[in-house]
A and B are shown apart, each in its own frame.
Chain A
Amino acid sequence: MHELSIVMSIIDIAKQQADQACAAVIDEIELDIGTMSGIEMDSFEFAWKQAVKGSVLEQAARKINLIEAKARCLDCDAVFSIQHYFDPCPVCGEHLLDILNGKELKVKSLVVS
Chain B
Amino acid sequence: MCATCGCDSGGNTAIHHLGEHEHTHGGHSHDHGHSHATTKTIVDVEQDVLHQNNLLAQRNRGYFDAKNILALNLVSSPGSGKTSLLERTLKDLKGELEFAVIEGDQQTTNDADRIHATGTKVTQINTGKGCHLDAHMVLHALQGMKPRDNSVLFIENVGNLVCPAMFDLGENERVVIISVTEGDDKPLKYPDMFHSSTLCIVNKIDLLPYVPFDMEKVKANAKKVNPGLEIIEVSCTSGEGLSVWYNWLKSKVAVPELI
A12 cross-chain contacts in B, Cβ below 8 A: 1, 3-4, 52
B: residues with CB less than 8 A from A are 1, 3-6, 9, 30, 32, 34-53, 130-132, 134, 162-163, 165-167, 187-188, 191-192, 194-195, 221, 223-227
Closest to A26 in B: B43
Q: Does A113 contact B37, Cβ atoms closer than 8 Å?
A: yes
Q: How far is the CB of B144 from chain A (nearest CB, A)?
A: 23
Apart from A9-B50, A12-B1, list 13 A-B contacts with CB within 8 A. A1-B131, A2-B6, A2-B166, A6-B49, A13-B51, A19-B32, A22-B34, A105-B49, A105-B50, A108-B44, A109-B45, A112-B40, A113-B37
Q: How far is the CB of B143 from chain A (nearest CB, A)?
A: 21
B224 cross-chain contacts in A, Cβ below 8 A: 85-86, 88, 95
A17 to B47, CA, bound (A): 10
A108 cross-chain contacts in B, Cβ below 8 A: 44-46
A96 to B48, CA, bound (A): 26
A15 to B165, CA, bound (A): 26
Q: How far is the CB of B195 from chain A (nearest CB, A)?
A: 5
Q: Does B42 contact A95, Cβ atoms closer than 8 Å?
A: no
Q: How far is the CB of A84 from chain B (nearest CB, A)?
A: 6
A79 within 8 A of B: no
> Which of B6, B40, B187, B221 makes the CB contact (< 8 A) with A5?
B6
A11 to B47, CA, bound (A): 12
A4 to B227, CA, bound (A): 31
Q: Does A85 contact B34, Cβ atoms closer than 8 Å?
A: no
A111 within 8 A of B: yes
Closest to A47 in B: B6
Q: Does B36 contact A4, Cβ atoms closer than 8 Å?
A: no
Q: Does A107 contact B47, Cβ atoms closer than 8 Å?
A: yes
B187 cross-chain contacts in A, Cβ below 8 A: 86
A11 cross-chain contacts in B, Cβ below 8 A: 3
- Provided the pairs A86-B225, A113-B37 are in contact, do residues A106 and B48 lie with their beta carbons within 8 angstroms? yes
Q: How far is the CB of A90 from chain B (nearest CB, A)?
A: 14
A: residues with CB less than 8 A from B are 1-2, 4-6, 8-13, 15, 17-24, 27, 38, 84-86, 88, 95-96, 105-113
Q: Does A112 contact B163, Cβ atoms closer than 8 Å?
A: no
Closest to B9 in A: A8
Closest to B39 in A: A113
Name which of A4, A11, A38, A84 has the most chain B CB atoms within 10 A of its CB: A38
- Provided the pairs A9-B4, A85-B191 are in contact, do residues A38 and B37 lie with their beta carbons within 8 angstroms? no
Q: Does A113 contact B41, Cβ atoms closer than 8 Å?
A: yes
Closest to B51 in A: A13
Q: Does A85 contact B225, Cβ atoms closer than 8 Å?
A: yes
